[in-house]
Amino acid sequence: MHVHVLVIGALFALPGLFVLLRTLQLGGELGETLRASMAPLGRTTLLATSVSITAAVLGTSLAWILVRSDVPGRSVWRVIVVLPLVLPTFVGAAAFLAALTNGGVLAEALALVGAEAPRFRGFWPTWFVLTLFTYPYVFLPVSARLLALSPTLEESARVLGRSALQTFRSVTLPQLSGAVGSGGLLVFLYTVSEFGAVQLLGYDTLTRVIFASRVSNRATSFTASLVLVVLATVVVVGERSRRRNRPSDDPIRTHPTEPVALGPWRFPALALVLTTATFGLFVPIASLTTWAIRGLTNNNVGFDGLAEAAINTASVGVATAFIAVLVVLPLATLLVRHRSRTGEIASIAVVGGFAVPGLVIALSLVFWTLNAPVVGALYQTLPLLIAAYVIHFGSQALGAAEDSVRAVPRDLRESSRLLEPSPVRRMTTVDLPLMRPSLVSGGGLVLLSTIKELPATLLLAPTGFRTLATEVWGSYEEGFYAEVGVSGLILVVLSAALTWILVLRRTDVIRDSGSNGP
């Protein structure tokens, strides 16, 4: 049982091993380089910590509002609110910047109230933009968990005298702490590995050191990568050990939850949702649209290849999501049901993979594929690209996979064993429907990340394999903003459609199929 988990763990550890290998191999003045990395390390840590805190608060609040309360239009908002995850952060940051310059949406709005657009560089703008583009990492697992939670606990608290808000703090939030923690961890690791927005907005982090010196001084670059891997490992170990004391079964929902009536609180709640959607989605889209329109009216846009890119993006994204969930599920099962040490170690490798910049993961896979026996034939094929995606993003499915395993309580499993001898049949008729909301939300995260991935795609994809992300990048690099606008918008629409079809429509499965109560 444990061997395949070790294999999984080894797979995810490949980038880290590669970095370690190269650092030792390239020598250089390790001490000197380490010292030079300390300031960027500090900035990376500061940024990642603050972003994960605000993203967690924002994501959890939105999840509660859009799952538990009676705010109107919840099912629509639940889709919209996830979408900021769709934009590659460099595009999002660039679009945001454009909105703040002359003629941009935000600049115009500020001009209306007589204010000037601020200079948008440095720590605070970076923190702001990254929070806006990462809170869905917390929103998705928390809302999945809220949907799956039995309402009995909250109802008990209400009957015992707690108001809705007090119930949330003392009963709901502890139940959510796992989802918030795993989502927040993802935000932290994402921010650590992020380069596009950070460079655009001028905040000097570890990733900048890695990229700036990657050709001119590879020793420095790899040392900085090693520092990053160590940081990620430390944080992951810390978060996972905090999570160890969790009950492993959840009571099943016997009836759907009544929405909490917010009364006058409805307005601030709706305002929060609207503001987030505006800044996280509508503003960047407005910029993209402006660019696209300007280009279309000047007839400057080349459409060839976009359809092919869109199809590639969708198919490889869905395939990756599927495979990623399959890969992490055995590990999740082991972690939840057996609490094994090997599982814990493997999971550190899995989760840590998210912090490694895509470029490094790609180079590591080049190294391992070309230097290991047999697998050389995989080089520059789609399976290898998918492997890179799975290593980079598999962590996003792990927390959700663990939640999904927890959604099938032991007595249910045991009774179904007695009734149905075929494990496959049991899986499809008993386990899967209960696991589906969480599995699908985890797969959804992987899907969204894969769709917008860039550096590994550029390096590892078979030549001529275009994705929407590479199209956007190509146009962006040379300042062809019209094409950035068009391909960016297609990216948003495609991601929204896939997210809706595959993720959000299905996460209500228990809500719909649950009994209406005796």
Partner 1 sequence: MFGTLDTVLAPSHSSSVQNALSVQRALSPERVLVNDVSVSLGGGTVVHNAQLDVDAGQVLALLGPSGCGKTTLLRAIAGLQEHHGGSITIGDEIVSDARTFVAPERRRVGMVFQDGGLFPHLTVEQNVGFGLRNHDNPTQRINEMLELVSMSEFGKRLPGTLSGGQRQRIAVARALAPEPSVLLLDEPFSALDAGLRVQIRREVKRLIAALGITTIVVTHDQEEAFAMGEHIAVMSNGAIEQVGTPAELYTSPASPWVAEFVGDGARFVGHYDGAFVTTPFGKVPAHAAGSALPVDEEVVVIVRPEQLILHPGTAGAVVDVEYYGHDVRYDIVLTDGRRATVRSVRADFAAGDHVDVSFDGSSVPAWPTT
Partner 2 sequence: MLAAACTSSDGESVTVYSGRTENLIGPILEDFTAETGIDVEVKYDQSSNLALLIQEEGDRSPADVFLSQSPGAMDFLDGDDRLATIPDDLLGLVAADVRDDDGRWVGFSGRQRVLVFNQDLVDEGELPSSVFDLTDPAWSGRLGIAPSNGSFQDFVTAMRGQVGDDATSAWLEGLAANDVQTYPNNNAIVAAVGRGEVDAGLVNHYYNYRFLDEDPDHPGRNHQFATDDPGSILIVTGAAIIEGSDAPDAAAQLIEWLLQEDAQRYFADETFEYPLASGVAPSGDLPAAEFAGVGGLDLSGLEGGLERTQELISEAGLEG
Return the one option of partner 2, partner 1, none that residue 366 interacts with (CB less than 5 to 8 A, by type).
partner 2
Q: Do 218 and 26 meet the contact criterion of CB atoms below 8 Å apart?
A: yes
Among 89, 134, 199, 333, binds partner 2 (CB under 8 A): 199
Stretch binding partner 1 (CB under 8 A), from 35-43, 251-259, 273-281, 364-372: 251-259
162 binds partner 2 (CB under 8 A): no
Cα–Cα nearest to 309, from 454, 503, 479: 454
Tokens 């402006």 map to which residue? 290
Question: What, of partner 2, partner 1, none, does residue 463 touch, CB below 5 to 8 Å by kind?
Answer: partner 2
The answer to whether 336 and 409 are in contact (CB under 8 A) is: no
Amino acid (one-letter) located at 479:
G
Which of 135, 203 has the CB closer to partner 2? 203
Q: Does 174 bind partner 1 (CB under 8 A)?
A: yes
Window contacting partner 1 (CB under 8 A); options: 12-20, 60-68, 145-153, 349-357: 145-153
Query: What stretches of 69-193 show up as alpha helix (H) in DSSP?
Result: 74-80, 89-100, 105-112, 123-134, 136-148, 152-159, 164-167, 173-193
Q: Which does 465 bind (CB under 5 to 8 A by kind): partner 1, partner 2, none?
A: partner 2
**Residue 152 interacting with partner 1 (CB under 8 A):** yes
> CB 465 → partner 2: shortest distance, Å?
7
Rounded CA separation 228/224 (Å)? 6
Q: Are 421 and 261 in contact (CB under 8 A)?
A: no
State which residue, 220 or 276, has the beta carbon closest to partner 2. 220
- Residues between 87 and 126 with contacts to partner 2, criterion CB under 8 A: 97, 101-102, 121
Q: Judged by CB under 8 A, does residue 28 bind partner 2? A: no
Q: Which of 387, 412, 401, 228 is nearest to 323 (CA)?
A: 387
- Residue 337 sits in the site that holds partner 1 (CB under 8 A): no
Contacts 24+ apart (CB under 8 A), 173-177: 173/60, 175/145, 175/149, 176/60, 176/142, 176/145, 176/146
Binding partner 1 (rule: CB under 8 A), the pick from 31, 114, 247, 264 is 247
d(CA 102, CA 110): 11
> Could you tell me how many residues make up the chain?
518
**Would you say 45 or 416 has its CB closer to partner 1?**
416
Q: Which is nearer to partner 1, 8 or 171 (CB)?
A: 171
Residues 62/272, Cβ–Cβ less than 8 Å: yes
What does the angle CA 498 – CA 501 – CA 503 come to, to the nearest 5 degrees? 85
Is there binding between residue 322 and partner 2 (CB under 8 A)? no
Crossing angle for the helix pair 382-406 and 358-371, to the nearest 10 degrees: 120
Q: Does 171 bind partner 1 (CB under 8 A)?
A: yes
163 touching partner 2, by CB under 8 A: no
User: What DSSP assignment string belongs to 255-294?
Assistant: SPPPPBP-GGGHHHHHHHHHHHHIIIIIHHHHHHHHHHHH
Cβ at position 422, least distance to partner 2 in Å:
35
The reply on whether position 418 binds partner 1 by CB under 8 A is no
User: Kindly report the CA angle at 391 between 313 and 460, in degrees rounded to 5?
Assistant: 55
Nearer to partner 1, 151 or 330 (CB): 151
Binding-site member from 69, 175, 233, 416 for partner 1 (CB under 8 A): 175
Picked from partner 2, partner 1, none, the partner binding residue 382 (CB below 5 to 8 A depending on kind) is: partner 2
Question: Residue 69 gets which letter from DSSP?
Answer: B
Is residue 298 involved in binding partner 2 (CB under 8 A)?
yes
Angle at the Cα of 441 (from 383 to 275), degrees rounded to 5? 120
Q: Does 216 bind partner 1 (CB under 8 A)?
A: no
Of the residues 254, 297, 371, 429, which one makes contact with partner 1 according to CB under 8 A: 254
CA dihedral in degrees (314, 182, 343, 436; nearest 10)?
Answer: -50
Q: What is the nearest approach in angstroms of partner 1 to the Cβ of residue 171?
A: 6
CB of 63 to partner 2, least distance (A): 34
Q: Which of 161, 373, 421, 479 binds partner 1 (CB under 8 A)?
A: 161
Q: Does residue 474 bind partner 2 (CB under 8 A)?
A: yes
Query: Looking at 366, 375, 427, 493, which residue binds partner 2 (CB under 8 A)?
Result: 366
Chain centroid to Cα 504, Å, comes to 15
Binding residues (CB under 8 A) for partner 2: these are 97, 101-102, 121, 199-202, 204, 208, 212-217, 220, 294-295, 298, 300, 302, 312, 359, 362-363, 366-367, 370, 376, 379-383, 455, 458-459, 461-465, 470, 474-475, 477-483
Binding residues (CB under 8 A) for partner 1: these are 150, 152-153, 155-163, 170-171, 174-175, 247, 251, 254-255, 258, 515-518
